[in-house]
Copies of this chain bind each other. A is one copy, B any other.
Amino acid sequence: MRPSGRTFNELRPVSIETGVNRYAEGSCLIKCGNTHVLCTASWDESVPPWMRGRGEGWVTAEYSMLPRATHTRGRRDTKNGPSGRTQEIQRLIGRSLRAVVDFKTLGERQIMIDCDVIQADGGTRCASITGGFVALREAVRWALKDGVIKNDPLTGSVAAISCGLYGGGPVADLDYDEDSNAQADANFVMTGDGGLVEVQATAEGDPFSEEQFQALFTLAKKGCQELTAKQNEV
């Protein structure tokens, strides 16, 4: 029995609202249950120095949590830069989004995705990827409409879900209560047509078996399909 009363493969209610920032070229507020992430896409007509002159673009991401996004107030990531956990997450978001972008078509420009967690109840990195893609797509649509670029650099869509072993069995879309008591925690990033972008599974205590891993995999495929459908509704 899950704390939220959900069935083992049931996602939390998802809503995605676009156009929530008047300055950003693309933006959305994604809510996965009580996890709320504000995603903005900022268009930059230049690339980082190490990429100049190649005729190719770049997509990168930053992730941050407001201090009171959680039950107890956390410290801001200042002094000494973002924490190891934060850096790990923003590298994951960036890699995931880049998997569906053709950089030659984008041309020498960069799109920066900012994912700021307003309220956290588990699954913030997955919500950031799912919402970050929507913000990215909004920015691309803006650029196509305004004639900034001529061809769509997106080669597909991308979404992410966390699954885990909780109470002895596999469950989809862990919330905080489940996440903090899971025997294993896995994040799957998949494209809209079922391609794999990233698989990360971690034993929290004892190792898990191959069978258990495959059960999580099965849940993830179904979950990512549902999230892709939500993205396409927008």
Residues of A whose CB lies within 8 Å of any CB of B are 21-24, 27, 34, 38, 40, 42, 44, 62, 64, 66-73, 76-82, 84-85, 87-88, 91, 95, 99, 112, 114, 116, 118-119, 156, 186, 190-191, 194-203, 205-210, 212-213, 217
Q: Do residues A201 and B198 form an inter-chain contact, with CB atoms below 8 A?
A: yes
Q: Which residues of B contact A217 (CB under 8 A)?
A: 210
Q: Which residues of B contact A210 (CB under 8 A)?
A: 194, 196, 217
Inter-subunit contact A68/B23 (CB<8 Å): yes
A78-B207 Cα distance, complex, nearest whole Å: 33
B206 touches A112 (CB 8 A): no
Interface of chain A: mostly helix, strand, loop or mixed: mixed
A211 to chain B, nearest CB (A): 10
Are B197 and A67 within 8 A (Cβ)? no
Q: Which residues of B contact A22 (CB under 8 A)?
A: 34, 119
Give the residue of B42, B196, B202 whose beta carbon is less than 8 angstroms from that of A95.
Answer: B202
Whether B207 lies near A197 (C-beta < 8 A) is yes
User: Within the assembled complex, what's the spacing in Å between the Cα atoms of A84 and B212?
Assistant: 30
